[in-house]
Amino acid sequence: MLDISESVMQFLLAFLVAGPLAGAAAALLPAPPGLKGKSPDQAVLRHGVTVTGAILAAAIVLAIGFDHDRPARMQATTDISWIPALDVRIHLGVDGISLPLLVLTALLTFLCALYSYFKMPAGPSPKAFVALLLVLESGTLATFAVLDLLLFFLAFEMVLIPMYFLIARWGGEDRRAAAWRFILYTLLGSVVMLLGLLLVGLKAGTFDMVALATDNGRYITTSVQVIAVLAIGVGLAVKTPMWPLHSWLPDAHTAAPTVGSVLLAGVLLKMGTYGFVRIVLPIAPDGMHILAPYLAAFAAAGIVYGSLACLALARTGARGDLKRLIAYSSVGHMGFVLLGIATMTPTGVNGALFANVAHGLITGLLFFLVGAIKDRYGTADLDTLAGATGAALYGRAPRLGGLLAFAAVASLGLPGLAGFWGEMLALFGAFRPAEGLSRPAFLTFMAVGAFGTLLTAAYLLVVVRRVCMGARPDAHRPPLVDIQRYEFAAWSPLAVLTVVAGLWPAVLLGLTDPAVQKLLSGGKS
């Protein structure tokens, strides 16, 4: 790894947070005459690719300069007083827990900007689209980089408005209702979360997340911790989303444009589970210990519920929407993440963090593919696509069909691909939960989760059979465009990383494990 000075690392992390905001402001300005290209619309879309590409390059350099021998230590830290009266500070930093999520966010946003340059979703001017995309990226990156509770809340909320407009203005049918449901659910959850964050900060005397994690809840009574976990957990669970607080998600995904669905599944859902690991586990351990079995129960229920909903949508005659099916699959997959967190063990939490990244790669790829299928067929309705014999994607667009099958088997947790390790480690964590947690209860949750993996395989294989297989195409069926160059450029990094993470999980686990061990031990390495 490169030996990069601390000041350069600080600049890179600050650039990750502030750079997209500056890019969003520039996107709204008229393009200079020499940079307009064929049209102002093309110029602003190219601007989006350039800015997100620069952010991705900065994230990669930050990852290369990161001290991998000490991933539990906060690096590239900036700590500046912002509101002295409330002791709110601009405190940024990155460790082995947040670094993979920063790189994942930068990668997915760049790929979405690149895809949109060639396939801009139908809607108003690209200027607003690019500006909203960049504001969304800034808020998400800030969520993973800030180390102050109030700044975390501001960054957490910052993503809501751009995602609302991306759905409401560039989405499909029923987009306004879906956008309103998204913002109302998440805002109501966030209000409750803010009360919990204020309670923790005022009782502990600081909003600094590093100091609070080091204190490990010793200055907060158990009753206050329980209230804080409930309040903060509700806001985080809505964003995750945890069953039964998930009902905004299928509508939002179904209505969102392709890149909106990719970012919603690949990045925004991770903010909720990241909050559980970064805030709830280390800051209120006693409260979490009391409520962990309930969180695990909701997680296990979500795993089975999401899979059964997908099976219902996949069956013949259900008129199931493919985007809606993938959205429900996220409820199940995020259930494994929450189950791993609820075990309060290094094994389970590492599995949750691995599953977070794997879900971002695989489900991001799935939404790209489903969006492409919808563009080609004009619908994502599974019955319309499959017809009487199947959509025959293998025969009509073999590369597209093959990649869809690859993403499906990765999502069902095939060993050797990224989806396997997170779910396996979460189940291992439930096999032997933290001391004091009921082992019989967690063994039950583990069995339910394992049953959920069978249901996941069932519905994904049904989807592959109905969409990829079928009667051989004949002269009466219109030709179907296979994967195009820009699609290959946007999708191949996700496919490659899915294989790399599956074959070499130690690359990611080597980053997260020391940081998780320190977090669970109250700041002691």
**pLDDT confidence of residue 36:** 57
Kindly report, residue by residue over 195-221, the tens digit of the pLDDT. 999 998 888 888 888 888 888 778 788
Tell me the DSSP string of 39-68.
-HHHHHHHHHHHHHHHHHHHHHHHHHHS-T
Q: What is the sign, positive or negative, of the torsion defined by CA atoms of 277, 289, 453, 314? A: negative
**pLDDT confidence of residue 524:** 53
pLDDT at 386 over 90: no
**pLDDT confidence of residue 388:** 64
Phi then psi for residue 267, to 5 deg, are: -125, -55
Nearest by Cα to 483 from 405, 373, 380, 390:
373
Kindly report, residue by residue over 42-60, the tens digit of the pLDDT. 888 888 999 999 999 999 9
| Mean predicted confidence (pLDDT) in 320-330 | 88
Query: Residue for token digits 């989405």?
Result: 171
Nearest by Cα to 150 from 216, 211, 200:
200
Helices (H), 67-148: 99-118, 126-145
**pLDDT confidence of residue 37:** 58
Kindly report, residue by residue over 71-95, the tens digit of the pLDDT. 888 888 888 888 787 777 888 999 9
Q: How many residues does the chain have?
A: 525
Kindly report, residue by residue over 25-34, the tens digit of the pLDDT. 988 877 665 5
| Mean predicted confidence (pLDDT) in 147-156 | 91
Which are the contacts of 524, defined by CB distance < 8 A and separation ≥ 6? 518
Q: Band of the pLDDT at 475, cuts 50, 70, 90? A: very low
Burial environment of residue 173 by CB neighbours within 10 A (0 to 12, 13 to 18, 19 or more): exposed
Residue 506: both structure tokens together = 């130690």
Report yes or no: 64 and 9 within 8 Å, Cβ to Cβ: no
Kindly report, residue by residue over 263-301, the tens digit of the pLDDT. 988 888 899 999 999 999 998 888 999 999 999 999 999
What percentage of residues in the chain have a pLDDT greater than 90? 47
| Mean predicted confidence (pLDDT) in 427-431 | 92
| β-bridge partners, 148 | 208
Q: Give long-range contacts, CB 8 A cutoff, 24+ apart: 190-195.
A: 190/153, 190/156, 190/157, 190/160, 190/235, 190/238, 191/235, 192/231, 192/234, 192/235, 193/153, 193/156, 193/231, 193/232, 193/234, 193/235, 193/236, 194/153, 194/235, 195/231
Per the prediction, the chain carries an average pLDDT of 88
pLDDT at 140 over 50: yes
| Mean predicted confidence (pLDDT) in 100-119 | 93
SS3 87: coil
